[in-house]
Chains A and B, each alone.
Chain A
Amino acid sequence: MLPHLPTAYNLARWLLRNDHDAEDAVQEAYLKALRAFDRFRGGDGRAWLLAIVRNGCYSRLRQQRRVEPHDAFDESVHGAADTRGEEAERERAAADAAALAGAVGRLPEGMREMILLRDFEGLSYREIAEVAEVPVGTVMSRLARARERLQRELAPGREGGSL
């Protein structure tokens, strides 16, 4: 098995939400990684590879004009409107794996990748910072917003707290 292939494919598949695109993106990323291997200076090989996969996914998304700029993650842009349909209501009520997958899929990419890399793949903030090419502090705030948002989507009636 190629190193890290399951993780790389899973990340690409969750970012692109399409089997065909994910396969192409992963293939390209591995070829790019091999060509760039001379420039690999040691350190975290997984983070290095995932950064290449991630960059490829984002350029695909940009080409498809589906990606928003990074600072557009506020609620006014990504509000609850897209979850208001009956189908979304049923999903929420079911609160099962399908609802969870749906909610994760509805997160903007910049939030989705944080959830995937941290909660799904178990990367440290430092590793995520390396993959996403942002400071650790940005990982911290983006992940916090992503979890809050995911939790609201999964349990809309139980908000409470002091937000």
Chain B
Amino acid sequence: MNCEETGRWLSAHLDCELDLAKDAEVTAHLQGCPACASRARRLRETAAQVRSDLPRFAPPAALEARIRASAGAAAPFRPARRWGTWEAVGILAAACVVFVAGYHLGSGRTAAGQAGDDLISAIVRAREDERIIDVVSSDRHTVKPWLAARLDFSPPVADLAAEGYPLVGGRLDRLSGRQAAAVVYQRNQHTITVFIWEGPGPLPATGARLGYGVRAWKAGGLDFAAVSDVAPADLDAFVRLFKAIR
């Protein structure tokens, strides 16, 4: 990774928001490049300065009263409900607490939703970074060892070209802080990404999410999620084939 590329990822590196492989590349570059290391330090200082020195504007005391008054006036237009307006906001606030707690306990529906969000983020990130594939090969005997050498587990990689889902390649990714293999297959003009990672943890919810279909399952001690924008029937067919071949 050169200085220009490092500069592009530096900010996200400081925020710990990069995927595993990219983060390692940035760290390696910073260790050998005093100029970029000093640039990183200055960026960190700027962020810290904003945190500590930027003036915060407090809402004027009258604002809350004004909002409550106008909400009261607006209330008759809202559908009848058993709880009042501000109780609703209270429930909203309480819901946040419950959801946050849900994340931290790593359980329940919300955790599954969170895991689903992580999948979509990983897809979008790969697309934006134009880093969809680290190892380009239609040969599973190339892709599988490449991934296995970089992960703590050996992800199954299937050859489904005859069934209409040719293998394109694979990349390293990260889901909820865990390393994951992302194996990419093609279906007509679309791609299907199969994420494979080690449990335990909540499986992402199967269904549709932000325009992507998600199918998640467990097999052989590993968690799987196929994500794609192909037609749902194609995705289901792919998952059946994938499971059968293993």
Contacts and interface: CB of A to CB of B under 8 A. Distances in A.
A24 B113 CA distance: 34
Contacts of A119: 47, 50-51, 54
B10 interface: yes
Contacts of A163: 7
B interface SS class: helix
B117 interface: yes
Contact of B43 (A26, A148, A162): A148
B241 to A, nearest CB: 30
Interface residues of A, number: 62
B191 interface: no
B92 A45 contact: yes
B88 A34 contact: yes
A81 interface: no
B39 A161 contact: yes
Interface in B47-89: 47, 49-51, 53-60, 63-64, 66-68, 70-71, 74, 77-79, 85-86, 88-89
Interface residues of B, number: 60
A23 to B, nearest CB: 5
A73 interface: no
A19 B59 CA distance: 9
B49 A140 contact: no
A161 B78 contact: no
B125 A137 contact: yes
A120 B52 CA distance: 8
A34 B125 contact: no
